[in-house]
Amino acid sequence: MTGTVIDLGELRHGPDPGRLPRPPRAVGRQLRCALVLLLVLATVVSAAVPPPRPAAVTVPAQLAAETLFTADLFVVLDPDPEQPTRRRMSAFRLPDGGSLWQTAVPVQGRNWEITAAGDTLLVTVHEVLPPEPSVLSLAFDRGTGAYRWQQPGHPTALADGTVLLQSGADDELVTLRAVDPCCGTVRWQLPDAATYVSLRHDARGVDRLVLHRGKGSTEVRDAITGAALARADLRPPEGGSYESVQLVDDLLLASQRAPATITAYGLDRLDRRWSTTITGPIDFVDDCGPVVCARRNGAELWGLDPATGQVRWSSDRWGWMVPHDGRLVSTAERPVVVPPPPLVVLDPMTGRELAELGRWELARGGPDGPLVGVRPHPDGGMVVAELDVRAGRARVLDVLPDVTGNCQAIVGFLLPCQLVDGSYRLFRVRR
């Protein structure tokens, strides 16, 4: 902060060479009051001056680019200006935005994405132009951009750093292959493994695979070794098969619509834990921290005890749910409206509203990072706030000029946001 310094003269030590006559009492009081007033004004003015903003860095990108942010790297996958079916990949150092390398992706396709696995960057292309497979993943060295290998399939990082590749067309059985990210060496594989596969994530990555083979045939495997842990024929008592299966922590939650029932099985042994009937068709179940959320018939949301299946609360007021810091963050109105409805904080055990945070869009970020909200500023740019769900308040941090959106909160409140021309500006948000 800048401040105003008032020169009150030189402070002398020892006796004065000559004593000046004392001013009249009224004059001295006025002088002291004037000095106090000046000091107060100086303090107010200095407090009103905001600290200087750290210099923002702009990183080039096109509007159609795919991007990847990590704690220390920003990767841009841009269309080639001369051949739209080709891509070039560029890496920039964070937080200063320094250029590290650029490389061409040696295949052509239409839909692209980019992920990271340790020191490897994986570019996945869907709808690959012939003669390549329909889904193809290519590996590049994170530090240099050097090409490493390519194999069919969509990648997922496993808990030990291995990459799981899932391949197979929509009408084919899924083939699974776990490969070393450095060189593509196959650690284990299961050809024609399942009709579809469910993944259980922990803090490090995927550690369990559930293979569904139709008519209730289900198998659980260790994702790291590929070893089978349990097999069972999971079918509703009335016959047929479950319509959807989701994994939440150590539970496999199987749902059917008529009657609307959720049945929980232990993930490692497929032992039946509980079953709960809910009035109306079940759309989905999801992880809501200390409870399991179930959406009923596109409207009502239910909070279930994961240990017993007991219904703890239900409400038709809330939209999507984000568990954060022991609370649930949701919208105060379920239908999609413009402007977006206010964010609210809920007690996950009771569904009770604890606080309202205001109208914010959540910036993308990791599960352990800060919860950051953004919204347009009336004069342009974006307002940024830290959303404190424990305290139930939004604390405005900054106003970012020239930003249109697509912000992501990463380590240290570095906020990359997209500009109107597609490029990204890297802001170090004031806290």
Architecture of domain 53-152: Beta Barrel (2.40)
Q: Is the pLDDT of residue 13 over 50?
A: no
3-class secondary-structure state, position 356: strand
- In whole angstroms, how far apart are CA 20 and each of 16, 23, 24? 9, 9, 12
Close Cβ partners of 60 (under 8 Å, ≥ 6 residues apart): 76, 90, 423
- Alpha carbons within 13 A on the beta-carbon side of 127: 7
DSSP 8-state class, residue 76 = E
pLDDT classification of 430: cutoffs 50, 70, 90? low
pLDDT in tens, 72-109: 899 999 998 888 889 999 999 988 889 999 999 999 88
Cβ atoms < 10 Å from Cβ of 209: 28
N- to C-terminal Cα distance for the chain? 14
Compute φ and ψ for 59, nearest 5 degrees. Answer: -115, 130
State residue 95's pLDDT score: 83
pLDDT for position 360: 92
Q: Report the predicted TM-score, pTM, of the whole model to 2 decimal places.
A: 0.80
| Cα gap 384→28, rounded to integer Å | 49
In this predicted structure, the answer to whether residue 337 has a pLDDT above a threshold of 70 is: no
Domain ranges of the chain: 53-152
> The tokens 């198998």 sit on which residue?
219
Q: Return the pLDDT at 37.
A: 38
* Structure-block tokens of residue 289: 């921290």
Phi-psi group of 355: left, alpha or beta (phi > 0 → left; psi -120 to 50 → alpha; rest → beta): beta
Question: What are the structure tokens assigned to 222, written together?
Answer: 């260790």
Nearest CA to 73 among 400, 426, 372? Answer: 426
Region 216-232: what's the mean pLDDT? 94
Average pLDDT taken over every residue of the chain: 82
| Predicted local confidence at residue 25, as pLDDT | 44
The token duo for 113 is 């994405």
Place of tokens 């990359």: 416
With contact defined as beta carbons under 8 Å apart, do 253 and 261 qualify?
Answer: no
Does the pLDDT value for residue 295 go beyond 50? yes
| Contact call for residues 4 and 46 (beta carbons, < 8 A) | yes
Q: What confidence category does residue 161 fall into, taking pLDDT thresholds of 50, 70 and 90?
A: very high
Q: Are 330 and 318 in contact (CB under 8 A)?
A: yes
